[in-house]
Amino acid sequence: MVPEQDLEAVLDELRRLRTRVPQLTGALAAGVDGLVVAHDTPGVDPEGLAALTAAELGVAVRVTDATGHGGFRELLVRGERGYIATYAAGRTAVLTLLAQDRVNVGRLHLEGRRAGARIGELLDAAEAAARAVRPAPRPLGSVSTAPPVRPRTPRTTSAEARTVTDS
C-alpha cells in the first residue's frame, strides 16, 4: 500500500500536468493490475478507466512482444472526440491521459512521458520503502502464540517486467 503523502504527491503531479496541458480532460495513475492509485478524471469513472487501462496494457505488451519491439512504453488511441494516451510509470504502474481532439500530440507525449517518469519514481520508491520495512526478529528462544507472519508480496503481472519508462 502506498503511503498517503506519496498518493498526494501523485495527485499533485496529475493536477500540474493538467495545468501544463490545458486540453487534458482527465488524468489517472493506476497499477498494472487495474487498481486506481490516484485520479483527476471529472465525469469519468476512475475504477472503470483503470480496469480498461489494464486490459489495453495487456494487449499492448503482447503486441510489443509478438513484434520484437521490446517493453511497453506508451500507447495512443484516437477517437472521434479526442485522445487516450497511456504511458509506463515505473515498474508497476501506468499513467492514462484523456485529451481533447485539438491537443498538440507532441506536447501530450512530452508532458505525459515526463509525468509518467516522475510518478513511476514516486511509486517505485514507495514500494521499495514498504519492502524495506520488515518486522523485527524475535530473540532466540522466545515463544509466540501467534502464527508466523509472512511479508505480503505485491501482485505482479507479466506486463510488470516489460514496462519501461526511459525516454
Predicted pLDDT of residue 149: 54
d(CA 20, CA 68): 34
What's the pLDDT score for residue 128? 87
What domains lie within the chain, and their CATH numbers?
Answer: 4-132+155-162 (3.30.450.30)
Per DSSP (E only), the strands in 4-128 are: 24-31, 36-40, 74-79, 82-88, 93-100
Give me the pLDDT at residue 164, please. 54
Report, as ranges of residue numbers, the positions in the chain whose pLDDT lies below 50.
Answer: 156-161, 167
Within a 10 A sphere around the Cβ of 164, how many other Cβ atoms?
16
Which pLDDT does position 133 carry in this prediction?
A: 76
What confidence score (pLDDT) does residue 146 get? 52
Which amino acid, residue 51?
Answer: A
